[in-house]
Amino acid sequence: MRVKVLFHDRCFDGVASAVVFSRFYRERVNPRAEFAYAGLMHRAGRLFDDGAFDGDENAIVDFKYSSSERLTWWFDHHDSAFLSPEDEAHFRRDRSGKKFLDPTYKSCTKLVADITAARFGFDPTPLEELIRWADIIDGAQYPDPRAAIDLTEPAMKLMLVVEAGRDDHLPERVIRALQEKSLAEVVKEPPIAEWVEPLLKWHEQAIETIRRVVRCERDVAYFDVSEYGLEGYNKFIPYYLCPEATYSIGVSLSPVRAKISVGSNPWAPRPRRHNLAKICERYGGGGHAAVAAISLPPEEIERARAIAQEILRELQQSEATS
């Protein structure tokens, strides 16, 4: 039995969700199953390749729904969970008992743990530390912005490796290792450990680069790092630099996409008034109410900048009238 697990790539919650699902499946469904993993990224055009669902069973965790008949398991917690109304209707008709959506969860990892425990008798206790940190990281449950960019804890270092590392095999290595070992053990394993120090230096450089280019006006921190190769930067940096901001908008560029990241400050002096997922959906993106994004082809970087400016004006105008 070959189980294909597709997870939100470059995302600690996506990796942690894959860990919990894999251990659940091995312990409660088929202990002889072999696992294959593939990361999924939000991008312009098709999100799922033709050969994506090539396992005997196929699972998606922490990513959009697919109406493929070969998809057997699905767990997600995003507000923007569907590519189309047809996909949503397909999900609503499903009676397999193996596909789950709950946007009230701060992390998909906790969703997978709770559902598999309640419905399938899985004991997630050995993964308790991982589940707790996934909820902190994806739910932005840090005491302050400094804690959110302080990468001294093993979980925070692994987050950096997963989200900013440029070795495409690293997320799978992390997923396999975390099924049996602690966060502190995994972060010391080669080749994972070899990435930590270089990425910590990169993280400090990212803080200084964003410090140079960020503008905070009328409660919105805006920055364009598309010329600096900074996709994968810590999303809390703008709130550390601009604690007065309610929102942030960042433009970045990689070989596979131009990205507009739109977020809200968990520690803002003024409350968030917008559902950012709904704003980004207008441009083909999505996410959560508090943090969302839009992905375009890399050659459309100028269009990405124009969209970012439109969203900037919208957020600034609404804050000015509140």
| Per-residue model confidence as pLDDT tens digits over 133-178 | 999 999 999 999 999 999 999 999 999 999 998 888 999 999 999 9
Residue 35 phi, psi (nearest 5): -115, 140
In a domain, 202, yes or no: no
Q: Are residues 103 and 6 in the same domain?
A: yes
Q: Are residues 239 and 172 in the same domain?
A: no
* CA 81 – CA 65 distance, rounded (Å): 6
Nearest alpha-carbon partner for 99 in 47, 61, 152: 61
* 264, β-bridge pairs: 247
Q: Are residues 129 and 236 in the same domain?
A: no
Q: Are residues 176 and 237 in the same domain?
A: no
Longest dimension (CA), the chain: 60
In a domain, 26, yes or no: yes
* CA 161 – CA 194 distance, rounded (Å): 10
Q: Are residues 155 and 229 in the same domain?
A: no
Q: Are residues 188 and 64 in the same domain?
A: yes
Determine the distance from the C-alpha atom of residue 241 to the mean position of all C-alpha atoms in its chain, rounded to a whole number: 22
The CATH number of the domain holding residue 279 is 3.10.310
The CATH number of the domain holding residue 180 is 3.90.1640
* CA 85 – CA 105 distance, rounded (Å): 22
When pLDDT is averaged across residues 67-89 and rounded to a whole number, the result is 96
Last residue in a domain, options 135, 161, 192: 192
**pLDDT for residue 46:** 67
Q: Are residues 167 and 232 in the same domain?
A: no
In a domain, 97, yes or no: yes
In a domain, 9, yes or no: yes
DSSP string, 255-306: SS-EEEEEEE-TT-SS---S-HHHHHHTTT-EE-SSEEEEEE-GGGHHHHHH
* CA 46 – CA 84 distance, rounded (Å): 12
Looking only at the bridges linking them, the beta strands covering 2-8 and 57-61 are: parallel
Q: Are residues 164 and 240 in the same domain?
A: no
* Long-range Cβ contact pairs of 125-131 (< 8 A, separation 24 or more): 126/23, 127/19, 127/20, 127/23, 127/178, 129/155, 129/182, 129/183, 130/16, 130/19, 130/20, 130/155, 130/178, 130/183, 131/16, 131/20, 131/107
* Long-range Cβ contact pairs of 213-218 (< 8 A, separation 24 or more): 214/238, 214/241, 214/242, 216/241, 216/242, 216/244, 216/245, 217/316, 218/316, 218/319, 218/320
In a domain, 198, yes or no: no
Contact between 5 and 22 under an 8 Å Cβ cutoff? The reply is yes
Buried b / exposed e along 130-150 (16+ C-beta atoms within 10 A): bbebbbbbbbbebeebeebbe
Q: For residue 207, what are its two tokens? A: 């803080």
Q: Are residues 183 and 299 in the same domain?
A: no
In a domain, 210, yes or no: no
Range of the domain at 24: 2-192
Reported as a single tens digit per residue, the pLDDT across 5-27 is 999 999 999 999 999 999 999 99
Q: Are residues 140 and 230 in the same domain?
A: no
* Average pLDDT for the chain: 95
Pick left, alpha or beta for residue 197 (phi over 0 → left; psi -120 to 50 → alpha; otherwise beta). Answer: alpha
The stretches of the chain forming alpha helices (DSSP H) are 12-28, 85-93, 108-120, 128-138, 145-149, 154-164, 170-178, 183-186, 192-213, 237-241, 276-281, 301-321
**pLDDT for residue 291:** 97
DSSP 8-state class, residue 4: E
Reported as a single tens digit per residue, the pLDDT across 215-260 is 999 999 999 999 998 988 999 999 999 999 999 999 999 999 999 9
Q: Are residues 115 and 156 in the same domain?
A: yes
In a domain, 181, yes or no: yes
* CA 210 – CA 285 distance, rounded (Å): 23
DSSP 8-state class, residue 63: S
When pLDDT is averaged across residues 174-183 and rounded to a whole number, the result is 98
Percent of the chain exceeding pLDDT 90 equals 92
Determine the distance from the C-alpha atom of residue 253 to the mean position of all C-alpha atoms in its chain, rounded to a whole number: 17
pLDDT surpasses 60 at 278: yes
> Domain tally for the chain?
2
In a domain, 203, yes or no: no
Q: Are residues 188 and 219 in the same domain?
A: no
